[in-house]
Copies of this chain bind each other. A is one copy, B any other.
Amino acid sequence: MSGGRIRLGMVGGGLEAFIGGVHRMAARIDGHFELVAGALSSTPERAQASGAALGLPRVYDDFRQMAIREARRKDGIEAVAIVTPNHVHYQAAREFLKRGIHVICDKPLTSTLADARKMVQAVERSEALFILTHNYTGTPMVRHAREMVAGGEIGKVRVVQVEYPQDWLTVAQEAKQAVWRTDPLRSGAGGSTGDIGTHAYHLACFITGLEAEELAADLQTFVSGRELDDNAHVLLRFRGGARGMLWSSQVAPGNENALRIRVFGETGGLEWAQEDPNVLWHMPFGAPHRRITRGSAAAGEASARVSRVPPGHPEGYLEAFATIYSEAARAIRAHGRGEAPGPEVVFPTVSDGLKGVEFVDACVRSSRRNAAWVKL
């Protein structure tokens, strides 16, 4: 059946990595992709070993080699997933973009603002598509929240409270996942702000349809010896008058991946939490809270089109991630037919990625100026 599938390559995601395996499962769930090539590690030896372990048909020593050779093959990859540490995103992506190979890239977009701007240009110059895996926006109830706000169901938005606390960096960590994420050269200028704050920020903008105008950030590094922020308190002012608070933390014991958003408008509120993703709470002013569940009659069209199983059977993190892949597949197939995908097909773009990197940059600049307001 692989004939019908989109041929996918992968850069990064070797055996010790976390997010590579997630991308591979996400790519498999809906059956739109077949992973056929990879340059999975930064050294040729480990790249070969990882590729062999996965049974990949074509294994490359490095991404540039893969881009060149795959571009030449008739049955070469049509898309590539880039799942390396952040500082490699741009240099890897451009090799594929310039050869017309679609890029599915992990977040944040890049480790530097300069790279982010170059990435935007690279995408603009390319015929290929660029999809950023802000995976939480693939969640059905996040889609429904966005549809409700857009439909005026909570009135004009006034207040946005969004947070993404974790606890895994409460103490100094030696694990591979921790080491690169706390290294400014590989991760970028933001610690918690870059790794999870960008998810929170994107989610807030995605659901509300608002853009932040300025922010004031008080970043902290609680664990001694760490170079990047591990806790961030951010005030947000959105265009049009809405205000927000964003909290990201990697030192909040008891929090695993507790991304949560609350949006309050003139006539109602919404609440969604990543760890209970199948439920969207709607709080119409003056009436009981409504518990809207994925797959139910009340959950709406935007949610139904990205749901897989009946209500009460929880879909989770991987399914939301898979939805980004499936949206990518729809866009890629439409592109192959010389068409644009329908307006219902939604995925984060390079522009969203740039905004995320600008958010990190603004946080760092604001914090250095004692949490002064900084324009976005």
**Alpha-carbon distance A277/B312, docked complex (angstroms):** 11
**Contact between B289 and A291 (Cβ–Cβ < 8 Å)?**
yes
**Contact between B313 and A235 (Cβ–Cβ < 8 Å)?**
no
Copies per assembly? 4
Given contacts A167-B285, A254-B269, A288-B290, A235 and B218 within 8 Å (CB-CB): yes
In the complex, how many angstroms separate the beta carbon of A267 from the nearest chain B beta carbon? 7
**Alpha-carbon distance A264/B298, docked complex (angstroms):** 20
> Please, which residues of chain B bring their CB within 8 A of the CB of A296?
256, 288
Interface size class of A (residues with CB under 8 A): 35 or more
Tell me whether A180 is interfacial, beta carbon within 8 Å: no
In the complex, how many angstroms separate the beta carbon of A367 from the nearest chain B beta carbon? 11
Tell me whether A361 is interfacial, beta carbon within 8 Å: no
**Contact between A254 and B276 (Cβ–Cβ < 8 Å)?**
no
**Contact between A318 and B319 (Cβ–Cβ < 8 Å)?**
yes
> Please, which residues of chain B bring their CB within 8 A of the CB of A287?
297-298
Tell me whether A293 is interfacial, beta carbon within 8 Å: yes
> Please, which residues of chain B bring their CB within 8 A of the CB of A55?
1, 3-4
Tell me whether A31 is interfacial, beta carbon within 8 Å: yes
Tell me whether A71 is interfacial, beta carbon within 8 Å: no
Told that A161-B247, A218-B243, A289-B290 touch, could you supply 5 new A-B pairs with CB distance under 8 A? A218-B237, A253-B284, A254-B268, A289-B291, A314-B314
